[in-house]
Amino acid sequence: MDAIRVAKVDNVVLERPIPPSTKDGVPTRSRQTGTLHLTPHHLIFSPPHDTASTSSEAASTSEIWIPYPTITLLTRLPQSIAGLYPLQIRTRTFGSYVLFFERDRQGGAEDVWQSVKDCAVATSVEQLYAFFYTLSPPPVSRPTAPVTPDPTSNPSPAASGWSTFNPRAEFARQGVGSRTKAWRFTDINRDYAFCPTYPTKLVVPSRISDSTLAYAGKYRSKARIPALTYLHWANHASITRSSQPMVGLKNSRSAQDERLVECIFSSHQSPDTAYATASPSPSPSPSVYGATSTNLIIDARPTANAMANVAVGAGTENMDNYKTGKKAYLGIDNIHVMRNSLKVIAEAITEAESSASGTLDRGLLRKSNWLKHISTLLDGALVIVKNIHLNASHVLIHCSDGWDRTSQLSAMAQICLDPYYRTFDGFKVLVEKDWLAFGHKFLDRSGHLSSEKLFTVTDTPDDDTDDEGGGAQKAAQALFAWGQKQFASSHHLKEISPVFHQFLECVWQVQRQFPERFEFNEEYLLDLYHHLYACQFGTFLFNSERDRRVPDGGKAYVERTVSAWDWFDGVEQSTRHVNSSFDPTLDDRSSRSPDADQGVLMFDPRDVKFWYRLFRRGDEEMNGGKMAAFQASGADLLTVGPGQVDPVSVDGAIENVSAGVNGGEGLSIPSPARSRGPSPKPPSADASPLPANRSLEGVSGKDSFRPFTSTTSAFSMHSKAGDQVTSQSKSPLPFARLSRGNSSGPSGNGIPATGAAGSGGGWNWSQLSTSASSAFGALQGAAREIKSIGQEAIGQIRAEAADGESWARSARDSAPGTGIGEGRPSARGNERTSARSGLRTPSEANPWSVDASTAKAPASIPSGFADPGPRPQTQREPSWTANPWGESATPSSATASLADLTLRSDNSSRVATEQGASGGDKGEQTATKSDNRIVSTTEDKRVEEAALGGDRKAWDPLGAL
């Protein structure tokens, strides 16, 4: 209560839009006067109760409760024309309120603004309303199916809602231990020491020991190993989930992780025994399902995001090591893209509410790409449903950490596969299992602790005052407020994202297409969305099961807060949430009617609309015309199998880069059937080439690695029968001389023998996203640094050569291994006998280019670096101011560039020294005279070996020797 400056304010005017009561309606403005109450957790507006004469008026004049955690923006606006002081409130539930106060201070607008700010910005989750709320009266639960109690489970808290999900009971319902013995429970995470973000009870293949799991956990991000979340009732196909593997730039692998995935993908072959062999029986058996295996590893991310994770030590599976399945990229964007997309919708609603006409800008709605994201999620879930139910195969789902997009895809697929999850009890178990137990970060994604940056002031300067002191005071206050905002922590604001919101919206999309297949109605989903942010219950407050159940200096949080399911099971809520059109007979698995689907929903992922009731708008206003059709494009699937080049791998990146270097333009799709064998023969004249480069119009940076939606795409899982893609001939990679430890090509270099040249070879590097471009920029920077080192080495050699006689003398006196100067000037200015005549000089030419392999034999540095061509045999006096690196040692000679210096073997360097540069007179070139001394070839050799210390690489930073 200390943070509340004023607890009650009378005569407050409230303006707000009222959502339309019909689908075709538009919001209406409401203005009423009442009393404002401030509590530690809510802002309550109470209008006069004697003004309501009808039910609709009663609804508009009912009490309005605004929980502080739902506030996304609280702004102090300038004084109105009527002399009132307004405060504008916007909430995460898309509510908009403007409160007008008669006073600014002393119980007015400023005190209310400061009080709400101090109460909303919490430093601990224990300050939220859930730790003060008590449920009264006790809920009346719906009748549930009898479940055998688990004597080994932890005792349930006082509130029964916390015991909604019993892992042993739920997986026993799915058939673990009864229909199949290929799976077992493991207690490796019983104290959350193995993986703090996983539940205590995990289901893994029976043929995998805990020690193998311990090693496999080191290969997965945050030790989130592949674990079972759903076992299909018809064919033993499974849905498992995990985090990304720690592949990195070194292309690391784990035998334990590969074995774990192999056992998952073969768990259906012998369901009657726990320790069957991995290979299927040669004779057909009715108990073996999925004979034509299409096991999938679903990587929910775009390929550009997966490549960016490779640069930080993570990445995606190398399918050459997981030969029992294929991999599919779904191209679902990350949490930051989703947050910005929803922000654009909120801006469109705000502009419509502030405009005089109140018209919603559909251009902004289209710009948000919100329906595109929803359609992509649904399309990915449909791929999983088909692979499980129709192909009788297994699916492993992961994104980066496995708690956002993975939870969305897994939960949506199970809702469509199992009618149990479309009931009240099943939906609660699904949320508890795939969202709460598997560690979705509700606290971070929902932003429950708020931030001071969400509270702003937009005052106008007072032009009527001439008081300079007052202006200085306002400036000081503004500076102080700015400093507070800068030092306020906003890191958790970047973690906010509508992940669970998108899941609820996807459920609503399927519910809209199948209104008779869900026991609950739309009101149930809307109430769930409200309590996601209201912080009234402890269900959606924490980041993991460990945070909820492990005591931190006192009782566990599940014993101190009320579960949301207790409130939803109440009599009043149960009546409102029941779907009157629900028909459970449609899910009868034994039905053989022509339209029977065995309870599996095959929805249309492109039939999506804006959830207009959630956004408090009208259906016609948001979805009228062809609004939804513009964005419902579905997922851009990209599949990779064993032996195919993964665009996220090092081989794929090199191939894509080489395509751009060799003249490839545009964004093209490589053939998925590209093997690592020998180069294919050039296509014949009548062969059908790949289509021309597709237009890049409308392709954003984040979609740069995503293939275009096309029914003829080789990667599309919606391709029509008969579509063919003919591979183009590919030129050899310029990187073919590089060797890698993990060989996969015929030459053992780990790089495909065929490159991607021209338009059909791969993606243009210039089209990469910012993250991938940064990784390539680092490589370019390293190349520039190597070049700089080479130039510095050349400059050092030049400086040593300019030292003349003292340089040669220091070479004789230097100890072995110091690498200090060799060579001395001769009696002739254009001739020089150097002990470094056999030392190679780095070249500016690119040693990795194709031209480098066909270049002519390099030459060594001739004595005096003279031009080997004919020249007059005139004797010159030594000129120490002349450029010794030019064609001649005269002051007028121009300095030769590094490109003029070529390389030659050590044997040819001595020949070049002996041939000379002036008419080929060998007698004059054999030895030079300086200060009546002659340095023989033997002495040169001795000085060279002493200077280099027996290590020719000491002066060779680029590996020229």
Chain centroid offset of residue 234 CA: 34
Q: Are 56 and 21 in contact (CB under 8 A)?
A: yes
From the number of C-beta atoms within 10 Å of its C-beta (0-12, 13-18, 19+), residue 122 rates as middle
Q: Are 934 and 886 in contact (CB under 8 A)?
A: no
The active-site residue, picked from 195, 399, 416, 535, is: 399
Q: Are 41 and 119 in contact (CB under 8 A)?
A: yes
Within a 13 Å sphere around the CA of 24, how many CA atoms are in the beta-carbon half?
1
DSSP for residue 824: E
544, amino acid identity: S
Residues 6+ apart with CB under 8 A from 98: 14, 15, 16, 77, 86, 87, 88, 89
Q: How many CB atoms lie within 10 A of CB 917?
A: 25
Contacts 24+ apart (CB under 8 A), 92-95: 92/533, 93/529, 93/530, 93/533, 94/346, 94/349, 94/614, 94/615, 94/616, 95/16, 95/66, 95/70, 95/616
Q: Are 220 and 246 in contact (CB under 8 A)?
A: yes
Alpha-carbon span 897 to 324, nearest angstrom: 57
Residue 228 main-chain phi, psi, to 5 deg: -75, 135
DSSP for residue 938: H
**Cα end-to-end distance, the chain, whole Å:** 78
Binding residues: 334-335, 399-405
Chain centroid offset of residue 811 CA: 57
Alpha-carbon span 154 to 192, nearest angstrom: 14
From the number of C-beta atoms within 10 Å of its C-beta (0-12, 13-18, 19+), residue 534 rates as buried
* Beta-strand runs (E) in 795-879: 824-825, 832-833
Q: Are 692 and 759 in contact (CB under 8 A)?
A: yes
Helical segments of 287-441, H only: 303-310, 335-354, 362-368, 370-389, 405-417, 424-431
Residue 815 main-chain phi, psi, to 5 deg: -80, 155
Phi-psi domain of 106 (left: phi exceeds 0; alpha: psi -120 through 50; beta: other): left
Would you state the structure tokens that stand for residue 336, as one six-digit string?
A: 């930051």
Q: Are 339 and 740 in contact (CB under 8 A)?
A: no
Q: Are 409 and 385 in contact (CB under 8 A)?
A: no
96, amino acid identity: S
Binding residues for substrate: 334-335, 399-405
818, amino acid identity: T
Angle 739-256-330 from CA coordinates, rounded to 5°: 75
12: helix, strand or coil: strand
Alpha-carbon span 754 to 168, nearest angstrom: 52
Alpha-carbon span 18 to 21, nearest angstrom: 9
DSSP for residue 70: G
Where is 229: in which H helix or E strand? strand 227-231
Q: Are 810 and 821 in contact (CB under 8 A)?
A: yes
Q: Are 254 and 218 in contact (CB under 8 A)?
A: yes
393, amino acid identity: S
Closest listed residue to residue 378, CA positions, set 67, 632, 53: 632
Alpha-carbon span 94 to 91, nearest angstrom: 5
- 399 catalytic, yes or no? yes
DSSP for residue 78: P
Catalytic (active-site) positions:
399
